[in-house]
Amino acid sequence: MPQGLDADGRTALVRRLLSGALPGAADQPLRRLTTSGTEHDVWRIGADLVLRLTRDADAETGLRKESAWWPLLRPHLPEWLAVPEIVHAGEPSEDFPRTWLVSRWVPGTDAAAAVLAGADHESEVAWGAALSEIVTALRGFELGTLAPAEWPAGGRGGHLRDRLADLATTDPVAGRPDPAPIRGLIDRALAVTPPAERVLLHGDLIPGNLLLTRGRLSGLIDLGTLTTGFPAWDLTCAWWVLGATGRRRLRDRLDVDDASWVWGRALAATQGLLADWFYAPRGHALAPLGARAVRECLSDLG
């Protein structure tokens, strides 16, 4: 969103963008949404559409990835899983200098509050099974049908050591993260090497990207981190979303080898620690989710 615009200015901008691209939507009621996301300004358009404006160049790269990949993935995902249907991809203009996207509204409530509140046994089992279906579907996508240059790329998916480099980051607000609480998890992971088969990865299966309907996992959003790499990367949901019961269900259904499980746990703990460190001083909703993920990882060491 351009700097300096008040609420009326932001609304006027969105209506101008819509009037040039989707005239029928320009007169619909508009409501700016508060989400746990960090990369987009999000607007509900009437009852059926949602518009996202990217906040920076990295977010723009992710949004272009979504525009290209949701149509490719939809036929391969479970039939029960609702995902965005792209309606219009807006190009940069004088009004807005980056890509923007309009998609169908995906019904449901993001899973963040339910995860923080704690799920009952039945929900844990159901969530674990549902997540295993999503991960299996992603892994089953035949990358070989595309030229390697067409494969999605991103900052995740590589060796665990690459992710650990982020622990040396310094931030003017948060300072520097302290990896001491998760050092044991990291050391265990670095001592093993999981299978390196390259698969398609969502890369960010956290509660804010998962939607619930009547307590059941029903939707998936945000392909901004879609990439390829070590299968262990998409196991992070075992600790970011699930408790012990759900983790057992997920691992059993995916038949995860020990090394991949240890790597997944270290990746989840690292992502959780970084989220808590960076977002807690900013009062952002990702902080308690990151802190919870770290606790779940450490609880496995019992």
Return the percent helix, strand and coil in the chain, to nearest 5.
50, 15, 35
Predicted local confidence at residue 4, as pLDDT: 46
DSSP-derived secondary structure for 96-159: -SS-EEEEEPPPSEETHHHHHH---HHHHHHHHHHHHHHHHHHHTS-GGGS-GGGS---S-SS-
**Residue 2 located in a structural domain:** no
User: What confidence score (pLDDT) does residue 36 get?
Assistant: 57
DSSP letter assigned to residue 43 = E
Same domain, 267 and 138: yes
- C-alpha to C-alpha distance for 296 and 148, rounded to whole angstroms: 36
Of 104, 139, 172, the residue at which a domain comes to its end is 104
Q: What angle do helix axes 258-279 and 183-190 make, rounded to 10 degrees? A: 150
What pLDDT score does 128 carry?
98
Would residue 98 count as lying in a domain? Answer: yes
Does 203 lie in the same domain as 120? Answer: yes
Q: Which residues of the chain carry a pLDDT beneath 50?
A: 1, 3-4
93 and 122 co-located in one domain: no
Q: What is the pLDDT of residue 7?
A: 61
Examine the fold and report which residue of 104, 125, 145 is the final residue of a domain before the chain moves on: 104
CATH number at residue 70: 3.30.200.20
Q: What is the pLDDT of residues 47-82, one digit of tens each?
A: 999 998 887 777 788 888 999 999 999 999 999 999
Structure confidence at residue 1 (pLDDT)? 46
pLDDT of the residue at 40: 74
